Structure 1
Amino acid sequence: MPEKTPVANGAAAPGPVLPPLYRSLDPLTPERHAKLRVRDAGFGFAAQASAIPLVAEEFAVAARTLPIVFGAQAPHLPVALCGLASGSNLYVTEGGGWKPGAYVPAYLRRVPFFLVRSAPASDQLVLCIDSHAPQVSETEGAPLFDAEGKATPQLDRALAFTRSVEEGMLRTRGITERLNQLGLLKPAVVQFPHHGKPLRVDGFFAVDRPALAALPAEQFIELRDKGWLEPIYAHLLSIGGLPELAKDLATPA
């Protein structure tokens, strides 16, 4: 098949550790998945995801409606906070839709597809599918393969998008590692009034404003020239949205 058509070609199956929100990952092949279709199934599958991975290119638009923080555990990758309580996503509506007007992270829009390395040291990526995802059906939605077993335009678009998300994740990891090397990522605490009492939100990392301001000119220019200042400032501004997440929390005792 053409290179753009994802075929396992005897690739090793993905390891046992699955990415968040995925229940299975199988290398996509026309022999095994000829009948599969992909449909719009909403976002109910993310109703218990209080944090969603983000790529740096999303920060500017995501920051308007989603608080962006960095994980407390190394390598401190960025996430969009969707709730302040574990297992609660305040952006998923009762009907399984997404909060109107709020940005939908690319991580969610990529499901049920995911790229997996064919071997730990290999650069070859294999497109896999979560056949248990609600987006996958044999009777509804757009087919992934035609009658001859060739990839449909729907599958080509899915592969292109999935690849762009994977590339963005790799770039974001590099940015995060550099910010950490520069001493810019530090534990953060935000406190604000909530139903007449102070509410403290912690357990995450953020870019430290004083450390950013104290960077030597050469390092600050490095961030500027690489285009990293915009996502940094978007992240810092987005933290101001934390009180919005807290408004639906129960009144503290």
Structure 2
Amino acid sequence: MTKQLLIYESAVPMSASRHGKLSLEVADYSFSASINAVPLMAVEFIRAATEYAIVFAEVRDDVLPAAVLGVRPDQNLFLSEDSRWQANYIPAFIRRYPFVFSATNERKIVTLCVEESHPGLNSEGRGQRLFNDDGKPSPYTEKVLKFLKEYQIHFERTRRFGRRLKELGLLEPMRAQVTTPKGETLTLGGFMAVPRKKLRALGGDALASLAKTDELELLYLHLYSMRNFKGVRDRLIDSPLSEDTEPENAGESAASVH
């Protein structure tokens, strides 16, 4: 499997014959060092909105939410120098690593896969066993399966939410721009947001429908989260790779981040 899903390089189906003697020890989050955004499920908005800027991105035919982690394409500003996560809430996409479901095109059959390049996989018994001695999934793997099944359910709900935003024409392209004192301009683009003006212009039926499915609350959490771009700026200032920066004002609309 070629590198896809941002942080996966060699995820393969789990089996007792191949992984029966392996254990997993998760020491840090260094695997996420080179990403500047991570997919976010709708159910995570209420926790994530207090710490991350939540934006939207087109992924093939879908529109999916994402938590912004940095300005440079290959820099995660939420990692400490010793690769610890520097936020109270860790997105589920990060927490599920090194496991992932692969699915057929019809999404009828899913297979649990594990990223074999994960440095924590070992045959010395460090951490959690993946299989029992009888070849059956360990209690740890059973918990992983339960977590990924719930993740998949929330992923489908999040896809429907993205489709609704497209149908209502609420999304606009956005970008965030930061200029350092030395004149270096860093631009974060390729994302979309929902401007307040479009939300205010919605008709009563559309608003009532969004409120009934709790999607209106998600949109207000998205708007609330945009203030966290300042936190990303502050993390960039404190980063060893950057000096003081002076971002432009985000304004009152999510889409007016320049």
Name the TM tier (shorter chain): 0.7 to 0.9
Residues 193 and 130 of structure 1: CA distance in aligned 2, closer, same or farther (over 3 Å): closer
Q: What are the Cα deviations for residues 208-236 of structure 1, in whole angstroms up to 9, with x where unaligned?
A: 21111111111111111011122211111
Q: TM-score, normalised by structure 1?
A: 0.85
Q: Distance in 1 between matches of 2:197 and 2:9?
A: 42
Q: Taking every aligned residue pair, what percent have the same amino acid on both sides?
A: 31
Work out whether residues 57 and 65 of structure 2, in 8 Å CA contact, stay in contact via their aligned partners in 1: yes
Work out whether 1:161 is the aligned partner of 2:154: no
**Map 1:1-253 → 2, pairs under 5 A:** 16=2, 18-71=4-57, 75-99=62-86, 101-117=87-103, 119-139=104-124, 140-189=126-175, 202-247=189-234, 248=237, 249-251=242-244
CA positional deviation for 1:135: 3.4
CA positional deviation for 1:62: 0.5
Work out whether residues 2 and 10 of structure 2, in 8 Å CA contact, stay in contact via their aligned partners in 1: no
AA paired with 1:160? K
Residues 175 and 84 of structure 1: CA distance in aligned 2, closer, same or farther (over 3 Å): same
SS at match of 1:77: strand
CA positional deviation for 1:173: 1.2
CA positional deviation for 1:163: 1.5
CA positional deviation for 1:179: 0.6
Which runs of 4 or more aligned residues in structure 1 lie more than 6 Å from their structure 2 counterparts after TM superposition?
A: 191-195, 197-200
Q: Distance in 1 between matches of 2:32 and 2:130?
A: 23
SS at match of 2:198: helix
Q: Distance in 2 between matches of 1:83 and 1:62?
A: 15
119-128 vs 71-80, greater mean Cα deviation? 71-80
Q: Distance in 2 between matches of 1:86 and 1:43?
A: 17
Residues 58 and 41 of structure 1: CA distance in aligned 2, closer, same or farther (over 3 Å): same
Work out whether residues 72 and 187 of structure 1, in 8 Å CA contact, stay in contact via their aligned partners in 2: no
Gaps of 5+ in 1: 1-14
Q: Distance in 2 between matches of 1:205 and 1:155?
A: 36
Work out whether residues 178 and 245 of structure 2, in 8 Å CA contact, stay in contact via their aligned partners in 1: no
Q: TM-score, normalised by structure 2?
A: 0.84
Number of matched pairs: 237
Work out whether residues 82 and 90 of structure 1, in 8 Å CA contact, stay in contact via their aligned partners in 2: yes
Q: What are the Cα deviations for residues 166-195 of structure 1, in whole angstroms up to 9, with x where unaligned?
A: 221221111001111101111124578976
Q: What are the Cα deviations for residues 7-40 of structure 1, in whole angstroms up to 9, with x where unaligned?
A: xxxxxxxx64632101112111111110121222
SS at match of 1:71: strand
